Amino acid sequence: MRRKILILGLGGLLVCSGSLWAQERQGDQLQPLPDEANTRVATRAANFLSIGVGARAQALGGAGTVMSDGVHALYWNTASISRIEGFSAGMSYTPLYGNSGIDHLFIGTTLPFLNGALGLSLISLTSGDIPRTSERIVSGTNPVLGPTFEWRSTAIGVHYAAMITDRMALGGAIKFISEGIDGAKADWVGGDLSVHFVTGLWGTTLAASLLNVGSESNFEGDLVEVNISAADEIFPTQEDVRVGASTRALQLPTVFHFAVKTDLTGTPDALFGTDPRHRVTAVGELADAIDDAIQPSFGFEYSYNNFVFARAGKRWFNHDRAGWETSDGLSFGGGVRVPVAGRHLAFDYAYTGFGLLDNVQVFSFEYGF
């Protein structure tokens, strides 16, 4: 008995020594530098929810929480739809990062409901065709699964907002979110809360929203499972065993937005001048995401007779390790609003520079606000 214990002990010592020797042979483990802060990037899933929608907001540097007053408010601040009268519908399309093939689409609609407004929204991101490769079939010509696959991300939202005073509106939304590829997908349920407040002082409006608060989820599906053959099993059962890989549970990219808008000219309570033909609005916003540093943005919008619009803005990025980035994030755009049957038909465009990621252009269409 003692002999067996001694043999097992020596065997364990050899195994541990071999493991330590192998670790030494693999090289030194990377450690953060003393002056490097921990980064929160890439710690959340469904990051397509962080891509803003609407050409108007994007031309203003991404400051859409207080400036989106149509169906695009369903993304930024649901409370803002409480002021929409009648049926409204709109969409925005963004081909991301040059010719990458990544497309981002938003579709929304609102209508009056129970002394407030009800809204429905759809956000979709698709990667386009990606060659399918594997360790065994590196050519990408998989005879079973096909030569290509596509990443798809989708969020369907149900929104409601109502005025609680003559100046303040509250809104909320519930969203059903899914992303992944065939054979490996994850699903979440999330929600938004928002407020929109017209102060009545110097043309100033305040808005805040808490977005993407929800559940956590794991990626599941056939591609997350591994088929272990009987020959590879530690305890053979004489048959293949299907084993699911342990994937990490991921949460949604929760973010808090706070924004201030001031009418400089063109409204009765504007800071400078009240000529309704020429309206100039300044907007500033802070976005504090749980998986990124605080990002400030600001912009200006000029409109002539509420018909032609010109916009410009700037967004600052703090890339955690790289520090504040000032060369990227400049944006500009414009649009027109045409009266149609007592409502408005709007077309908007925005351009934003993203350096190595090329430029991003946004095209929006909206009717009824």
- Low-confidence stretches of the chain (pLDDT < 70) are 1-40, 135, 138-144, 226-244, 318-327, 356-357, 369
Residues 6+ apart with CB under 8 A from 288: 255, 256, 257, 294
**Would you state the pLDDT for residue 281?**
96
Give domain status of residue 63, yes or no. yes
Torsion angle, alpha carbons of 136, 141, 144, 147, to 10: 120
Query: Does 1 map to a domain?
Result: no
Domain-embedded: residue 353: yes
Domain count of the fold of the chain = 1
- Give the per-residue pLDDT at 238: 58
Residue 235 DSSP class? S
The CATH number of whichever domain residue 171 belongs to comes to 2.40.160.60
- Indicate whether 134 belongs to any domain: no
Q: pLDDT at position 11, please? A: 39
Is 352 within a domain?
yes
Residue 136 lies in a domain: no
pLDDT of residue 231: 53
14 domain-assigned: no
Asked if 139 and 133 count as a contact pair (C-beta separation under 8 A), the reply is yes
Quick one: pLDDT at residue 128? 87
- Distance, CA of 347 to CA of 240 (rounded, Å): 59
Q: In which domain, by residue range, is 103 found?
A: 54-129+147-215+252-367
